[in-house]
Amino acid sequence: MPPTNRWVIPPPRKTLVVGVADMAVSNDASAEIVTYSLGSCLGITIYDPLKKIGGLLHLMLPDSNIDATKAAEMPYMFVDTGVPRLFHAAYNLGADRTRLVVKVAGGSQLLDAQGVFNIGIRNIESFKKLLAQQGLNIHANDTGGVSSRTLRLDLANGTTTIKSPGSELYAL
């Protein structure tokens, strides 16, 4: 009888990287979605635990009215145009609105220590207002402060993790 291999190496995980003003939605439970360098930007994750459908949006600004042309070209740049697209993409894969777990990170004052523009705060407020209008809640958040964040969503189980410079990885 041949010797058995006692060590099982799991297959490598697929990583979907979301850039600035970008989004990814998937139903591939073997994947994770990640975005880097969240400063004043927001990283928003949604996840349907029954269907294992999740998405991540990395947005920059609260309101597309500042530049309609840019909003048409890059809708994921703004809260008001990106967030609805994130939810609709998840619904199109079969996610159910009533099961979605919503988490958000970012919104720091990283490059605006004097609070002149308050982009991070304005992003957070705009996102909360949009969710409230739709009757949805934020289940967990790590927003504000003065550090950047890396945000990951594991599509196998919905675990959302955050890593900031000088801190340990933790679940949101």
Cβ atoms of residues 164 and 149 within 8 Å: yes
Q: What are the structural domain ranges in the chain?
A: 14-165
- Which pLDDT does position 153 carry in this prediction? 98
- Which pLDDT does position 13 carry in this prediction? 79
35-46 pLDDT, tens digit each = 999 999 999 999
User: pLDDT class for 114, splitting at 50, 70, 90?
Assistant: low
Q: Tell me the whole-structure pTM to 2 decimals.
A: 0.90
146-161 pLDDT, tens digit each = 899 999 999 999 999 9
CA pair distance 116, 10, nearest whole angstrom: 48
Parallel/antiparallel/unpaired status of strands 42-48 and 14-18:
unpaired
Q: What CATH topology corresponds to 14-165?
A: 60s Ribosomal Protein L30; Chain: A; (3.30.1330)
Catalytic sites, residue numbers: 41
